[in-house]
Amino acid sequence: MFYTDGKLQYPVRVERPNPVFARALQQAIGGVEGEIRVCLQYLFQGWGSRGPAKYRDMLLNTGTEEIGHIEMLSTAVALNLEGAPLSVQEDVSKDAIGGSVLNGMSMQHILSSGLAAMPVNSDGIPFDCSHIYASGNIAADMTANVTAESTGRTLAVRLYNMTDDPGMKDMLAFLIARDTMHQQQWMAVIEELGGTAQQFPIPNSFPQEQEHREYSYVYLGHMTDGSIPQGRWTSGPSLDGKGEFSAAVSEPLGGEPSLAPARPDSGAQADQTSKSGMTGVLGGVEGAIERKL
* 119-139 pLDDT tens trace: 999 999 999 999 999 999 999
- Assess whether 163 and 235 both reside in one domain: no
- Assess whether 182 and 96 both reside in one domain: yes
Average pLDDT of the segment spanning 142-151 = 98
- Assess whether 165 and 230 both reside in one domain: no
- Assess whether 123 and 219 both reside in one domain: no
Q: Is residue 284 part of a domain?
A: no
| More reliable by pLDDT, 236 or 279 | 236
The arrangement of strands across the sheet holding 218-221 comes to 218-221, 244-249, 236-237
Distance CA 68, CA 10 (A): 9
Helices (H), 1-95: 19-30, 35-47, 53-81
Per-residue pLDDT reduced to its tens digit, 43-86: 999 999 999 999 999 999 999 999 999 999 999 999 999 987 67
Predicted local confidence at residue 175, as pLDDT: 98
Instruction: Please say whether the beta carbons of 78 and 106 come within 8 A.
Output: no
Q: What predicted TM-score, i.e. pTM, was given to this entire model? A: 0.86
Predicted local confidence at residue 91, as pLDDT: 54
Predicted local confidence at residue 274, as pLDDT: 79
Range of the domain at 109: 19-197
Closest CA to 185 of 11, 57, 2: 57
Boundary (domain end) residue, out of 159, 175, 197: 197
Output the DSSP codes for 83-116: T--S-TTS-TTT-HHHHGGGTT--THHHHTSSS-
- Assess whether 223 and 100 both reside in one domain: no
- What angle do helix axes 19-30 and 138-162 make, rounded to 10 degrees? 170
Instruction: Lowest mean pLDDT of 75-89, 107-121, 142-156, 237-251, name the range.
Output: 75-89
Average pLDDT of the segment spanning 201-229 = 96
Predicted local confidence at residue 107, as pLDDT: 87
- Assess whether 217 and 192 both reside in one domain: no
- Assess whether 139 and 221 both reside in one domain: no
Beta bridge partners of 163: none
Boundary (domain end) residue, out of 168, 197, 226: 197
Q: Is residue 254 part of a domain?
A: no
User: Is pLDDT above 90 for 245?
Assistant: yes
Q: Is residue 255 part of a domain?
A: no
- Assess whether 127 and 240 both reside in one domain: no
- Assess whether 69 and 153 both reside in one domain: yes
Which residues 6+ apart lie within 8 Å of 252 measured at CB? none
Boundary (domain end) residue, out of 197, 228, 263: 197
Predicted local confidence at residue 285, as pLDDT: 46
Say which CATH number the domain at 143 has: 1.20.1260.10
